[in-house]
Amino acid sequence: MKICKIIFSTNRLEFLIPTLTSCSENIDWGDHEVDGLFIDDMPKDRNDDQITELANIHGYNNVILHKENKGLGYTWHESYEWLKDKGYDYILHQEDDLIVKGPIKIDNFIDAMTHKSVYAIHLKYQDDWYWKDKVIEYDWLKDNPNFNYNFNIELTNNINKHYNKPPIKDDNDFHIMFDTSFSFYQSNLILESYKLAVADGRGLNNDDWIAEGTFGKYVRNIIKTNKMGLIIVNKDNKELLEHIGEWSWGHRSTLKSIINGHYNEYQKTKMKQMLNNPYEKINSRTWSNWTSSD
C-alpha cells in the first residue's frame, strides 16, 4: 500500500520534537511505501534549515514552509491540493503536539478498515484535556487480537449537540466524526469529499474554509452507508496519545468562516483574537469551553 502521513506544524519545537520522536519510535509502518508531507505555517523565529532537517529525519520527505502565517484552514486544504493525483491508498493525519505512548501497527489499522466496516481510525488522547476531571465511559463494540477498540458514543453526542444534531442511540446509527488530530483514512474518501467541498464553493482558492465538523458532512455524502469511526485504545482501555500542546498560536481561519462556522461564542472570540494577532500564545486547554474568562 502507498501511504502519506501529514503533519501541520506551527513551529512549536518544544511540542514538535517529542511528537516526531515518539512517532518514529512507536509506529510500525510495515512493508508499505510511506511518504510524508510536513507543512509549517509559522515563520516567526523559525530556522528553516533546522525544521526541514527535523522533518526529513522523521520521514517527511516533502516539506512546505510558509513565508507568512496563512492559517490552519489554508494549510489543511493546501495538503489536499498537494495530495491530488498522487495515488495514495491511505492518509494519516496528525497534529504536531501529540505523543504516541505505545507501539502501534499500521497493518492493524488497515485490517480494521478492510474487515470491520469502518471509514476511519482515530487515536484518542486524554479525556480531561479540555474538561478537568472528565473521564468518558466507552461503549464496547468488539475485541481484536491486536487492539481493543470501541466507538465513543458520548463524545459523538457531545459533538452532535454542539452542532444541533440529534443524538445517536447505538452503534447502528449513521454517524460521522471527521478529525485530523491523529486519524487514518482511505485517501479516496478524503479527496472525493474535498471535491464536493470545492464544488460547493469552498477550498484553497476561496475565503470560506471548512471546519472539521463541516467537512464531516461531505464525508457522509460520499459514504452513504452506516460505517463507523473507531477510536483506538490500548489493552487497558487507556488512551494511546498524550496531548502536550499547552499553547497554540497562528490564526485558524478567515473572518467569514469564523462568523459563519459552527463554533461556540468562546471559540469565535478566540479565533478573531488569533486572526488579529497570530503571534500571541493562546491557552490550548480552553478551546472547547462554552464560556471562559481565559
Query: How would you write the pLDDT of the chain (294 residues) with one tens digit per residue?
Result: 999 999 999 999 999 999 999 999 999 999 999 999 999 999 999 999 999 999 999 999 999 999 999 988 889 889 999 999 999 999 999 999 999 998 889 998 898 887 666 788 888 888 788 777 776 665 555 555 555 555 555 555 665 565 456 666 655 555 566 888 999 999 999 999 999 988 888 877 776 677 776 788 888 888 877 677 777 777 677 788 999 999 999 998 888 888 877 778 888 899 899 999 999 999 988 877 654 333
CA atoms 230, 94, 184, 174: torsion sign: positive
Return d(Cα 94, Cα 37) in angstroms, integer. 11
C-alpha count within 13 angstroms, C-beta hemisphere, residue 23: 27
Residue 230: burial class (beta carbons within 10 Å; 0-12, 13-18, 19+): buried
Return d(Cα 192, Cα 110) in angstroms, integer. 19
Pairing state between β 90-95 and 2-9: parallel
Nearest to 179 by CA among 228, 134, 139, 213: 213
Whole-number pLDDT of residue 119: 86
Whole-number pLDDT of residue 293: 38
Return d(Cα 222, Cα 195) in angstroms, integer. 10
Whole-number pLDDT of residue 278: 94
Alpha helix positions (H), 133-180: 153-162
Query: 3-state class of 149 per DSSP?
Result: strand
Name the one residue in this structure whose C-alpha cell is 459533538.
159
Which domains does the chain possess? Answer: 2-244 (3.90.550.10)
Q: Are 246 and 285 in contact (CB under 8 A)?
A: yes
User: Which cell goes with 79?
Assistant: 495538503
Nearest to 158 by CA among 141, 136, 183, 184: 136
Return d(Cα 68, Cα 134) in angstroms, integer. 37
Residue 115 neighbours by CB under 8 Å, 6+ apart:
none
- Backbone φ and ψ of 46, nearest 5°: -85, 135
User: Which cell goes with 258?
Assistant: 469564523
Nearest to 166 by CA among 175, 262, 140: 175
Return d(Cα 180, Cα 157) in angstroms, integer. 18
Whole-number pLDDT of residue 294: 38
Nearest to 16 by CA among 61, 58, 70, 79: 58
Whole-number pLDDT of residue 192: 94
Alpha helix positions (H), the chain: 13-26, 48-57, 72-83, 106-115, 153-162, 187-199, 212-223, 255-260, 265-276
Whole-number pLDDT of residue 139: 55
Whole-number pLDDT of residue 112: 80
User: Which cell goes with 163?
Assistant: 452542532
